[in-house]
Amino acid sequence: MTADGLLRYNGHSFWDCETWMFPTLLAWHPSIAQSLLEYRVERLPLARAKAKSYKPPYAGAMFPWESAVSGAETCPSWADTGQLEQHITGDVAFAARQFFAMTRNATWANSSGFDLASGAADFWVSRVELNATDGLAHIKHVIPPDEYATGDDSVYTNCVAAESLRLAAAWAARFGRMADPRWAAIADKIPILWDAARGYHPEYAGYTIGTQIKQADVVLLAYPLMLNMSDAVRQADLAAYESATDPNGPAMTWAMHAIGHLDNGRPDLAASLFNRSFANVQMPFAVWTETPQGGTTNFLTGAGGFLQGVLMGYAGLRIHDEYLTLRPALIEGTQSVAVRGLRYRGATIHAQYDAATLTLTLAAVASDGDHLSVLDELTGSSMALFCCDSVALPLAGGVHVFELRISPSALPVHRLGPWLS
């Protein structure tokens, strides 16, 4: 918002694009998701120019906080976010990683994707400050996703920066590209802040627990970044930041809290938070506003958060580098959930479940003989579906997490039938 009180950012791209809107587009419309990444690829020269504009200049590609047609920074100069909210460079790289995991488009990853990943990694190498005393690579003076704060070692920024560096190193090894050895080395030196006494992740160095924050920040470590942590730690993060989040903040936050409670097996805590994720929907056009009081209308970030609450929260979809997982849970007041048309590595998958049964259908495949391998992590049972098989899987006896892989036709498999142990 400008000094005259008028909105000037309508239609601009922020981290909202990659973090909030991209994941469900990727699951249902991978070609549209690719176009969002190509938008960033085509503007890499401007991202490199932004990195060089600092004093001293940074290396690599530093994506603007607020981008429009040219790819130059369009955030007004009076707003510190344009200079200091730098996690967006890691967010773009993380979206590239998700795209490759879902599509296995190696041609893209070895060209445009590697340009994004290596550009981001080179930026973070130049951005960190190596400390000879503690041996760590600190990222100082940034604005985290919580835009009420400025501080050192934002735990979200540090985490997504480290993942950017690891992605570039991994893709260089996979595709036989030249790698900077500092990518992997610095990734392991970036600190992920941890308060052992309270058992939670501080938002940044010196954060005082209970200080009000604007929106989802630390809770994004477990999802979407999937930082490994225990249920107890995740619950501590949720508790610390749920009460500290500004109730008048933007709409997308509450779906992330709902996802966290669902992952921790607390649908009772998730329900009211999920309802808050669409509480900003305004009539007569049923579109989100940015805040409960208004703000930006047709706030697509809010819609993106809500959709992730459904697909990644209640259906439990997770994108891993080599497979997907589903962990079905019912939305409060519903008897069944249907997820149609998931696109994964050239296959189309339908999933429908109620309290007793999950039905999976492999509706299409990229090549004859490709099949869907299904593993129930709770029971260890497995089977394979060929096009156009359906199978009903029991959901009784505990929380079921189903691992889904698309396997090529050359692999020996057992076709549909009884579960195989």
Residues with a catalytic annotation lie at: 147
CB count within 10 Å of CB 153 equals 24
Do residues 258 and 270 touch, judged by C-beta distance below 8 A? yes
Question: Alpha carbon of 45 to those of 12, 33, 39, 375: distances in Å?
Answer: 18, 21, 12, 44
Short-list 157, 74, 151, CA closest to 120: 157
Alpha carbon distance 236, 244 (integer Å)? 13
Q: Kindly give the pairing relationship between strand 357-364 and strand 390-394.
A: antiparallel
Q: How far apart are the first and last CA of the chain?
A: 58
How big is the CA angle at 210 (ends 189 and 156), to the nearest 5 degrees?
A: 25
Question: Alpha carbon of 89 to those of 44, 60, 254, 313, 418: distances in Å?
Answer: 11, 10, 24, 25, 47
